[in-house]
Structures are given as C-alpha cells and as structure tokens.
Amino acid sequence: MVTKTWISLVKKTNSKFALVVTTAFLTLFVGGTAFNIFQGKFGQKLNAAEVEKEAKASGLTPLPDDLRLSIDRTFKQVGADWPQTLDVGKKKVKIEYAFNPQLDAYIKKLLKSYRSDYATVAVIDNETGEVLAAVGVEGKTNNIDNNLVLASTHPSASLIKMVTAAELLQNTKVTRETSFDFRGRSTTLFKYQLDESKSNRWDKSQTFETAFAKSNNVIFGKAAIQNISSEKLVRMAENFGFNQQFLPEFDFVQSHIGTAADDYHLAELASGFNDQTVISPIHGAMMASIIANNGMMKSPKMITKLVDASGETLWENNSIEKRVLSAETARQMQEMMGMTIDGGTARKSFRKMNNGYKNALDIGGKTGSITGGKPFGKRDWFSAFAIPRDQERGKGISISVMNVNVKRWHVKSTMLAKNIIEYYYNNVKPVPITMVKMPRMVSENKRRKAKVYKRSIASRPSKKKIVSGKKRSAIKKEIGKRNERKSNTTI
C-alpha cells in the first residue's frame, strides 16, 4: 500500500523533486540503521527474553525443556568431575565439552600442588568463547570440586572496578589522566575519606589510571559519586553479564549486583567494597574477555553439543555476541589493565615472568581481595587476558583465578595466572619467544615523573668539597712553607 502511494506521488510530481526526496529518504533510512548497528545496544540489558530472541537470530537452537531440566538437576550437584552423560527420561544423552584436556590436566595438578583452602580457575578462548578449562579444588581433601566454578556465591571485590572504569571512561568526562585527591589508605573506604570539604595538607593525588592499577577504593568511590548514578552503574554491569543468564546452557548461573541507597553505598558498589555483589569464576574470565575482544561480549560455552545414542545432535551451542563497549573505551581499558601488570597490584608476580613471553604477549589484568562469601574466607581474585602481539596467532585467552584462604595464605592468584599463561603459550599454543626488548604500555603520568626526576638530578650541585676561605688561606701558607724548605735543601 505504501509502495503504490509513493509510486503515484512520483508520477504526479516533478521527476527532479522526486529524485531529491527519494535520495533523502534512503539516506535517513540507511544512516539510521547503521547508527543503530554501531550503537550495539549499549544502554540495554540482555534479559532472558532477549537472550532467547538473539539466540534464534544467530541460528542457535533453543535448549528443549527436558534437556534444560536435566542439566539443572545434574550440574547443581556436579561435585568431583563434570558429568559425561545426562539422564533424559529413559535415554542417555552424551555431553561434549569445549575443554582442552592438556590445559585442564595441568591446572588440576597446579592447584593440587599448592593446596589453597579453595581454588578455582576458568580459561576462555577469546576468539570462540569456548571454556578451555574450568577447575575447582578443595585443599583440605585435595579433591576436585567443580561446584566452586559455577557457583555465583563469591564477592567480586575489586573486579567490579572494570565495570566502573568502563562506565566512567565511556559515558562521563573522566579520562585516564584525570587526577583525584584522597586521604588515608587507598585500601579502605570510610565516609570521612569521601568528604571533599575536609581537605588538608596530607591529601595525596593519583590519576585515574594509576588508581585502577593500584586498586584505590577511595578514588573509585569519589569518581562514582561525582560522575554517575547507581542506575547507570547497574546498567553497565548488566551489559557485562550481571543480573542475567550469560551461559546459554545454565540458567542457574547468574551474578548479582544491586542498586545503591545513598552516596556511600554507591561508593561501595563502584569500588567493590561490599560482599553483596557476587559473581562466578567463569563470569570473572568473561569480563576480561570483553575487554580483550575490543568491547564485544561472546557468551562463554562450556558445553558444545548434546548428542543422543545414535550420534544425532540434539542441541548445539553457539556463542551469542553483543557489543558492550566502544572499541576506543576497550583499548583504554586494555592499557589500564596492562599497567596493573607493569606497575600495579600484580607487578610482583609478573616480574618473575620470562621476558620472552612479556615481549610476545599483551597481558592485562585486575586483582581483587575481600573476606566473605560462600565458602567463607579471604578471597584473592585475578581476572586477566593474554593476547599474542602477532595478530595472526588469534585473540588469545582470558583467565580468572580465585583463591579462598581461611587461616593462612598458600599462593597468590596472580602467580597461578602467570604460570598458566606461560604453560598455555609454551605447550598448548606455542608462540615464538624473542628476548628483544619491546615497548611496554607506560602511562603519561609515569613518563612525566621520569622527566621531572631527570631534571632534578641535572640541577643538583656537584659533589666537590666546599672549603671555607680561612681554611683555603691556611692551606696556601702550608704549601708555601713546604716549597721554601725544598728550595733551601742542599743535595
């Protein structure tokens, strides 16, 4: 009907006028469509209905109800190892996983050797979204407990700073070089530390990128209060996978973040200084993967296929893609996470990494630590990516390591991650190691400090001994007497 009306209008009007109107109409239509595609639904959360809609659009066969119920029943009590079959009525259904057996075996051996009270590792292939390893170990019995990997009962701690930083960099005037003042310890968060009216001479300052690398709770709390609302922070968190189903095969694995009641609560949410924001270890790896994939989220897939006894595929898992961040924001996040490795909270562990791997890979991460959660203990988090600098070798991996220490520390999560990255790029997907020094990501703030230090060295006075006038004249007299004695001496 619309088409017929438009044709009749074209016939009745001048042909040149019709051409101009048609061109304008097509420009608006194509331009608007391209803009909507580029936007990538930044401000929308992906709820269960949208997951189903996008799954159908991407060619994903929805998981039948009987298979979903069987998965829920089986995996909620997974225990020692991942099940190989599902009981669906009277028939057996085979489960095919995305795990890499070589990497999986190494991680199990590594975690058992250190015997933390509880430990988990999740590794995701950035290019495909496949979960290459998902291991949980209980140190007391030294047995595998994979319930720990899927459980969303672990406080996220400072991992949430990735979400806060993404919101601030993308949607506010805050930049990496923006400077903030703070007082007291950066690892605490008291109300007096957030009070801008009580500045004093003991206040210190840090740029936003340094605050991220060193996990400064006070600066992240201040930045959130001054620039964003609770609703905006939660919306960005939902884009990162919170409050929704991000594993198509598991509808019971959901991380949670709530809204803030006041400014102090907002500061707690933004900095991770609370135990109500909870995630699973697989989600921790997915968050790093979003940054590594230049702002694109690829839903992790642990189960690749469900196959019946005759070999027929009952269900195949395809990753759902969604844009979370602009490519520019993701690039800035990559550099900030690189600073965590080079000079931030992970520097001690990665200082011990073979320089060949440092030269061949772009590595970035975010640490976190907090006491609480289930099982109870002090959690030590590390979420990171490791991308080959040679782009022909793919997009690399993202990794999440969590240790729970009850009475004493056994090993740092950053050290475990370093060992796993080295093993992966030495044995699973080897990269050529070069010992040639390659440029690392160094912040402008660090360069500026280096210049100031060089100038201060150059302006310092020389270290020659300064002799007073009286002493100088006395020395001259003594020298004169010695010369006179020498001249009077006969040979």
3-state secondary structure of 174: coil
**45-59, 61-75, 447-461: segment of lowest average pLDDT:** 45-59
What amino acid is encoded at 396 in this protein? G
131, β-bridge pairs: 124
Higher pLDDT, 429 or 441: 429
Q: What is the pLDDT of residue 343?
A: 92
pLDDT for the residue numbered 88: 87
* CA angle, 418 then 421 then 425, to 5°: 145
45 has pLDDT over 50: no
- Residue 199 scores a pLDDT above 80: no
**What angle do the packed helices 263-271 and 230-239 form, to 10 degrees?**
20
- Residue 10: per-residue pLDDT: 44
In angstroms, the CA 205 to CA 185 distance is 12
pLDDT in tens, 62-104: 778 888 888 888 887 766 789 899 988 888 999 999 999 999 9
pLDDT at position 182, please? Answer: 93
Digit-coded pLDDT (tens) for 463-490:
555 556 667 778 777 888 777 776 665 4
338 pLDDT exceeds 80? yes
**What is residue 46's predicted lDDT score, i.e. its pLDDT?**
45
Report how far residue 489's alpha carbon sits from residue 491's, in angstroms, rounded to the nearest whole number: 7
Alpha helices in 207-326 (DSSP H): 208-213, 217-227, 230-239, 263-271, 281-292
* 74 or 47, higher pLDDT: 74
Question: Above pLDDT 90, what percent of the chain?
Answer: 58
SS (H, E, C) 439-489: CCCCCHHHHHHHHHHHHHHHHCCCCCCCCCHHHHHHHHHHHHHHHHHHHHC
Tokens 């005759």 identify what position? 310
Q: What is the pLDDT of residue 164?
A: 98
| Three-state DSSP class for residue 5 | helix
The average pLDDT across 191-217 equals: 89
Locate 173 and state its tokens: 């005037």
Determine whether 463 is exposed, middle or buried from the number of CB atoms within 10 Å of its CB (0-12, 13-18, 19+).
exposed
Tell me, what's the pLDDT at 149?
A: 92
Instruction: Say if residues 425 and 386 touch (Cβ distance below 8 Å).
Output: yes
Backbone angles phi, psi at 309, to 5 degrees: -65, -30
The predicted structure's pLDDT at residue 408? 85
Q: Residue 298: pLDDT above 80?
A: yes
The stretch 323-336 carries a mean pLDDT of: 96
Confidence of residue 344 (pLDDT cuts 50, 70, 90): very high
What percent of the chain shows pLDDT beyond 70? Answer: 78
pLDDT, residue 489, reads 58
Answer whether residue 446 shows pLDDT above 70: no
Query: Quick one: pLDDT at residue 113?
Result: 93
Q: Is the peptide bond before 375 cis (omega within 30 degrees of 0)?
A: yes
Q: SS3 of 199, please?
A: coil
Range name among 228-232, 402-406, 441-445 with the lowest pLDDT average = 441-445
Which long-range contacts link 411-414 to residues 24+ away (Cβ below 8 Å)? Answer: 411/114, 411/116, 412/348, 412/349, 412/380, 412/382, 413/367, 413/380, 413/381, 413/382, 414/345, 414/346, 414/348, 414/349, 414/350, 414/365, 414/367, 414/382
| pTM above threshold 0.85 | no
Cα angle vertex 279, ends 371, 253, to 5°? 140
CA 371, distance to chain mean position in Å, is 20
Q: What is the mean pLDDT of residues 96-118?
A: 95
- Nearest alpha-carbon partner for 307 in 73, 100, 96, 82: 96
Q: What backbone phi and psi angles, to 5 degrees, belong to 400?
A: -130, 130
**pLDDT for 241-287, tens place per residue?**
999 988 878 877 889 999 999 999 999 999 999 999 999 999 999 99
**How high is the pLDDT of residue 240?**
96
Q: What is the mean pLDDT of residues 298-309?
A: 92
Average pLDDT, integer, range 196-211: 86
Question: Chain-wide mean pLDDT for the chain?
Answer: 83
pLDDT value at residue 447:
61
Give the model's pLDDT for residue 319.
Answer: 77
Instruction: Supply the pLDDT for residue 488.
Output: 65
DSSP 426: I
How many Cα neighbours within 13 Å face the side chain of 260? 24
Note whether 111 and 134 are within 8 A (CB): no
Which pLDDT value is given to residue 467?
A: 56
Residue 179 confidence (pLDDT): 95
Residue by residue, DSSP assigns 338-407 as HHHHHHSTTHHHHTTS-HHHHHHEEEEEEEEEEEETTTTEEEEEEEEEEEESSGGG-S-EEEEEEEEESS
**Which among 119, 158, 166 has a CA at the least distance from the CA of 367?**
158
Least confidently predicted of 125-129, 162-166, 471-475: 471-475
